[in-house]
Structure 1
Amino acid sequence: MTHHPTWSSLPDVADVLVVGAGPAGAAIAKGFADAGMSVVCLEQGDWPDYSSARSDQPAFEVAAGKAWSALPNVREGVGDYPIDESESDISALMWNGIGGSVMLYAGQWMRNMPSDFRVRTLDGVADDWPFTYEDLVPYYAKAEHDFAVAGYHGDPAVPDSATYPMLAAPIGEGGRRVARGHNKLGWHWWPGSNAIATRNYGRLKACVQRGTCIWGCVDGAKSTPDITHWPDLIARGVHVVARAAVWKIETNERGLATGAVFFDAQGVERRQRAKVVVLAANGVGTPRILQMSADARHPDGLANSSGLVGKRLMMHPYAAVVGMFDDPIGTTQGIYGQLVYSLEFYETDPSRGFVRGAKWNLMPTGGPIAMMRPFPWGDNSDMWGEPFHRTVKTRLNHSITWGITCEDLPEERNQVLLSDQETDAYGLPAARIVYQTSDNSRRMLDFMSARAQESLIASGASSVSVAPQVRETGWHLLGTTTMGVDPKTSVVNGYGVTHDIPNLVVADGSTWPTSAGMNPTATVVAMALRTAEHLVSGRSHQEVPA
């Protein structure tokens, strides 16, 4: 579905302006629409073009490269802005368009653990969140139904919860072997939970197991807001404007947000006024907009009295460990989410030499060309020339990957800045990322990689390949407008309301004070639902511009 409203159809002053049409923007817009409020959503990119995905065609792997690349600097699509990552050892991955970056996710859907909200109390590092796991439980349950999560109820490693709306996808022969290996070791495993429909559900169709999830799901099985949310919201009167590049949030003399300035598809500068402004532009886009919004009253950018806007970037350092088996294990296909996950090493154990832990997710390795990509194999420098055919034959349909998502602790030196060298299509500053993986994370990656090798050997793998840290894995952009109770040490409160501007709200992963070790979409959506409910219930007391 594509939808392009006319300028005359937009309200002069919306009750709520949402910047960003990803899962957070869609979830919070739904909360406001359910309360009968007028909502305008401005999205920098366009509606996804599934005809360019090609994942149902034999030549898919050849065509998968540019249009569906997770790297904005490679994709260079409508709405993408350059990212200077010359000072970062992880590349930031994102998608600017209706649906947001989950257009490229593998659909892995995990709640945070209770300990993730109490890191300071439990481990003496970072900060506790200003709310608990229990506070999010009803919103997690709603999010799982809104996003059609398929999984199995009752994992003994996590708090019990309502059942998922549908059963998990098959784990396949590869998943069964690794599950048996973990049983031998006495280690935790559980069938994967994914926002990938295993039966028809609303507008979603049942997954046909192509294994192409991160390059555009042409079958309409992966839960993305362009399918699950926006069509219904538009039908109900929510205004979604694609190719609207917001670059400035304006404020008045009372210190309230009055709306946004943006460039439309023709490069014409426009304004949308609103009573409440919500930023949901991800952990890079949100601080970029706040920094670009600097003016005489806010020389360091909006909502930045703490000096923390853009700081404490977390991106989940990631390792990949692949096991090769002598016989075929059926891993050219299957969901590219998680067949199985393990939380065996998720919680802190001081004897390991680091704090916090990691979630492991088991994935198929894909088709022939995937056997040569950097992910999950590393630099592949030893496969070219005479060993080439033998290496591909060893890997293809004989391999399976443990992906290791390590908790990333917040450090102020890791940050998003405005580039003074590069600009986007409108002449606006590009984003500049400064990020170095911490010693704690490096020790964690080494430990987890060694344990994952043990797992795969116990599962019957004849050999193991380790990519100890993969650069192009910055899917999770967190922490750059951190939440807390003290305005001196945080940007927003526990509901995402900025301390400095009471009608300016942040509703994406940039508010996280710590990163947890889980895929963040479930918690991002749950938090957005909670924030919408809070703002709706306090609507009569909300400060708004005249």
Structure 2
Amino acid sequence: MQSAVEDADVLIVGAGPSGAVAAYELARRGFKVVCLEQGDWNLPDDFTGDKPSWELARLKQWHPSPNRRGNDADYPINADNSPLEPLLFNGVGGSSILYSGHWVRALPSDFRVKTLDGVAEDWPFTYEDLRPFYDEVTHHIGASGLEGDPSYPDAHTFPLPPLPIGKAGLRAARGMDKLGWHWWPAPNAISSRAFRNRPACQRYGACESGCPAGAKASADLTYWPDAIAAGAVLITGARVRTLTTDENGLVAGAEYVDRDGHWHHQRAGITILAANGIGTPRILLNSASSAHPDGLANSSGLVGKRLMIHPYASVYGTYDEDLESHLGPAGQSLQSLEFYETDESRGFVRGGKWNLMPTPGPLNRVLWEPGTDWRDGFGSSFHDKLSSTFGRTLEWGITTEDLPEESNEIVLDPELTDSDGIPAAKINYQITENNDRLLDFHIARAVEAHEAAGAVSIHVDRVVRDSGWHLLGSARMGEDPKDSVVDQWGRSHDIPNLFVLDGSNFVTSTGVNPTATIMAIALRAARHLADNRHNQVSAS
């Protein structure tokens, strides 16, 4: 096999948020960096949020599920044994292309779950260890938010003011105030004012199908231009099949196929996997050999195990006035951490984060729902439903903490493959009893919040099928090689020149959107790697 480019110091697999951070940090520190990304670049004009076809396009072309989307860059995922559909995007920027942009830090308790609550494990570092890296990434990407949220021990700052909470946020906030519950103007990775190369948010409300204005801080717009300017080489349309090893047992590089069907081998001294909580274990398991019959970096048997996805509930309230809830961002206008910490009297441990979301688009309000009579959506019923709900419906979305269970896993499917014949991933995942109780409690409180705000009707979607954005824990970090895949710096216990720097390495899932934490961890690890380069074992 031929080398794609000359041998690299560092090979990164995956051009999403963590891969972009690592590429920039290492390239600017003088490393020769090559990144392989199986997708391609997307320009703001490719997205349809500012076009009449927007709501139809997001049902297929820009759907967050690769199984539904079926682009050339996508790989199928068998999710038959999961109540949650895995959501991700393959392309420069990774899933940040389609994420909502909720820019939320984990809380101090998230790193000490075993100590505080007697479940799962503590992380090998603390909130204070990660805090400066949160700060740095937040200011680099241009996040919008309000300093001083009392849920946190530090009044961390933002480079941009918060986005407007609008009529919808004001109405929901009044309900929370009536109950005496915490809320805060929500932090978002979305520009409230022009920032560097990005304009201010145009409030299309189409964040989850790509930002046509370029205001959302996706990694293709924030870190990749800087990484490329610093010398990083980004190869698109490169689907990795396996990592290769040399006679010393070190990773020598990666085999990949380009979009013309030609196979290549990219050599590197250090390899970093940043392919998300499904893609990373899939590559490690597909890299099995006689020397590594269970896959690479898998002496613990935990590659693919302890998958966490954050079961998500939607509680919708419809109000008797136009609240302009079709306006973005989507994006969150408010967030609440009122019920985040453990209260054992509730009958479960840990908690969750609430986010107030808009309900943009008329089609979103009139689509047929399973279990209802489809005829109720036509004729005069269609117009009645649209006029009574469009712009008047708010969602309290609930992200619930998912505790690690070894039975929740990523494995290789014995039959399903991608378009290049590479074995696909299969999810075996079930919601735990603890999370079931957590969901029920939070949903009941969100109903109360809507009632307090004066909702005239309330609808609950207890577990949203298309909500599996947060793919975490499938190659967890830890201090003990027998019970973890990588150390606190993302370095494999088994193979010293192999790193995992995506959400796979989470010890617990936390109860918040993970992108800020993923990027902060990646920056911390990449900086440590650069600072200790002379102690790094590399392939010959």
Length-normalised TM-score, structure 1:
0.96
1:120 to 90, 114, 125: 114
1:11, CA displacement in angstroms? 4.6
Question: Relative to structure 1, is the Cα distance of residues 381 and 466 closer, same or farther in structure 2, using a 3 angstrom cutoff?
Answer: farther
| Map of 1:237 onto structure 2 | 231
| Map of 2:74 onto structure 1 | 80
| Map of 1:23 onto structure 2 | 17
| Map of 2:494 onto structure 1 | 500
| Map of 2:510 onto structure 1 | 516
CA distance in structure 2 between the partners assigned to 1:234 and 1:345 by the alignment: 42
CA distance in structure 2 between the partners assigned to 1:15 and 1:162 by the alignment: 35
Task: Tell me if the contact between 1:46 and 1:78 (Cα under 8 Å) persists in the aligned partners.
Answer: no
CA distance in structure 1 between the partners assigned to 2:351 and 2:441 by the alignment: 10
2:133 to 129, 132, 139: 139
Q: Does 1:38 align with 2:32?
A: yes
| Map of 1:394 onto structure 2 | 388
| Map of 1:212 onto structure 2 | 206
Q: Structure 1 stretch 236-245 or stretch 377-386: which is displaced more?
A: 377-386
Q: Does 1:182 align with 2:176?
A: yes
| Map of 1:100 onto structure 2 | 94
2:420 to 426, 438, 441: 426
1:65, CA displacement in angstroms? 2.2
Q: Any idea what SS the aligned residue of 2:377 has?
A: coil
CA distance in structure 1 between the partners assigned to 2:52 and 2:141 by the alignment: 29
Q: Deviations over 1:415-462 (max 9, x none)?
A: 111111111111111111110111111111111111001001111111
Q: Structure 1 stretch 269-278 or stretch 47-56: which is displaced more?
A: 47-56
Task: Tell me if the contact between 1:71 and 1:92 (Cα under 8 Å) persists in the aligned partners.
Answer: yes
CA distance in structure 2 between the partners assigned to 1:134 and 1:378 by the alignment: 46
| Map of 1:384 onto structure 2 | 377
Q: Any idea what SS the aligned residue of 1:272 has?
A: strand
CA distance in structure 1 between the partners assigned to 2:403 and 2:539 by the alignment: 38
Residue identity in the other structure for 1:414: N
| Map of 1:312 onto structure 2 | 306
CA distance in structure 2 between the partners assigned to 1:381 and 1:400 by the alignment: 23
Task: Tell me if the contact between 2:502 and 2:518 (Cα under 8 Å) persists in the aligned partners.
Answer: yes
| Map of 1:148 onto structure 2 | 142
Q: Any idea what SS the aligned residue of 1:122 has?
A: helix
1:373, CA displacement in angstroms? 4.5
| Map of 1:228 onto structure 2 | 222
| Map of 1:60 onto structure 2 | 54
CA distance in structure 2 between the partners assigned to 1:373 and 1:143 by the alignment: 38
Q: Does 1:129 align with 2:119?
A: no
CA distance in structure 1 between the partners assigned to 2:14 and 2:24 by the alignment: 13
| Map of 1:485 onto structure 2 | 479
Task: Tell me if the contact between 1:363 and 1:401 (Cα under 8 Å) persists in the aligned partners.
Answer: yes
Task: Tell me if the contact between 1:53 and 1:67 (Cα under 8 Å) persists in the aligned partners.
Answer: no
CA distance in structure 2 between the partners assigned to 1:194 and 1:51 by the alignment: 22
CA distance in structure 2 between the partners assigned to 1:373 and 1:115 by the alignment: 40
Alignment of 1:88-487 (within 5 A): 88-373=82-367, 383-385=376-378, 387-487=381-481
Q: Deviations over 1:178-228 (max 9, x none)?
A: 111111111000001000001111111100111111111110100011111
1:161, CA displacement in angstroms? 3.7
Q: Which consecutive residues of structure 2, in runs of 5 or more, have no partner in the other structure? A: none
CA distance in structure 1 between the partners assigned to 2:370 and 2:207 by the alignment: 21
Residue identity in the other structure for 1:384: G
CA distance in structure 2 between the partners assigned to 1:46 and 1:493 by the alignment: 31
Q: Structure 1 stretch 190-199 or stretch 51-60: which is displaced more?
A: 51-60
Task: Tell me if the contact between 1:168 and 1:192 (Cα under 8 Å) persists in the aligned partners.
Answer: yes
CA distance in structure 1 between the partners assigned to 2:162 and 2:373 by the alignment: 37
CA distance in structure 2 between the partners assigned to 1:148 and 1:388 by the alignment: 41
CA distance in structure 2 between the partners assigned to 1:122 and 1:155 by the alignment: 22
Residue identity in the other structure for 1:115: S
Q: Percent identity?
A: 51
Task: Tell me if the contact between 2:46 and 2:212 (Cα under 8 Å) persists in the aligned partners.
Answer: no
Q: Structure 1 stretch 279-288 or stretch 333-342: which is displaced more?
A: 333-342
1:160, CA displacement in angstroms? 1.5
Q: Deviations over 1:276-311 (max 9, x none)?
A: 000000000000000000011000000000000001
CA distance in structure 2 between the partners assigned to 1:380 and 1:216 by the alignment: 31
Residue identity in the other structure for 2:476: T
Residue identity in the other structure for 2:478: G
Q: Any idea what SS the aligned residue of 1:452 has?
A: helix
1:49, CA displacement in angstroms? 4.7
Task: Tell me if the contact between 1:205 and 1:219 (Cα under 8 Å) persists in the aligned partners.
Answer: yes
Task: Tell me if the contact between 1:172 and 1:334 (Cα under 8 Å) persists in the aligned partners.
Answer: no
Q: Deviations over 1:346-397 (max 9, x none)?
A: 00000111110000000111121011358xx776557535743322222111
Residue identity in the other structure for 2:532: G
Residue identity in the other structure for 2:163: A
Task: Tell me if the contact between 1:480 and 1:511 (Cα under 8 Å) persists in the aligned partners.
Answer: yes
1:67, CA displacement in angstroms? 1.5
Q: Deviations over 1:494-529 (max 9, x none)?
A: 111010000100000000010000000000000000
Q: Deviations over 1:247-295 (max 9, x none)?
A: 1111112121111110012111101111100000000000000000001
Aligned CA RMSD, in angstroms, stands at 1.5
| Map of 1:4 onto structure 2 | none
Q: Any idea what SS the aligned residue of 1:433 has?
A: strand
Task: Tell me if the contact between 2:44 and 2:214 (Cα under 8 Å) persists in the aligned partners.
Answer: no
Aligned length: 537
1:146, CA displacement in angstroms? 1.6
CA distance in structure 1 between the partners assigned to 2:128 and 2:188 by the alignment: 22
Q: Any idea what SS the aligned residue of 1:526 has?
A: helix
CA distance in structure 1 between the partners assigned to 2:535 and 2:176 by the alignment: 54
CA distance in structure 1 between the partners assigned to 2:138 and 2:224 by the alignment: 17
1:123, CA displacement in angstroms? 0.5
CA distance in structure 2 between the partners assigned to 1:439 and 1:501 by the alignment: 36
Task: Tell me if the contact between 1:44 and 1:242 (Cα under 8 Å) persists in the aligned partners.
Answer: yes
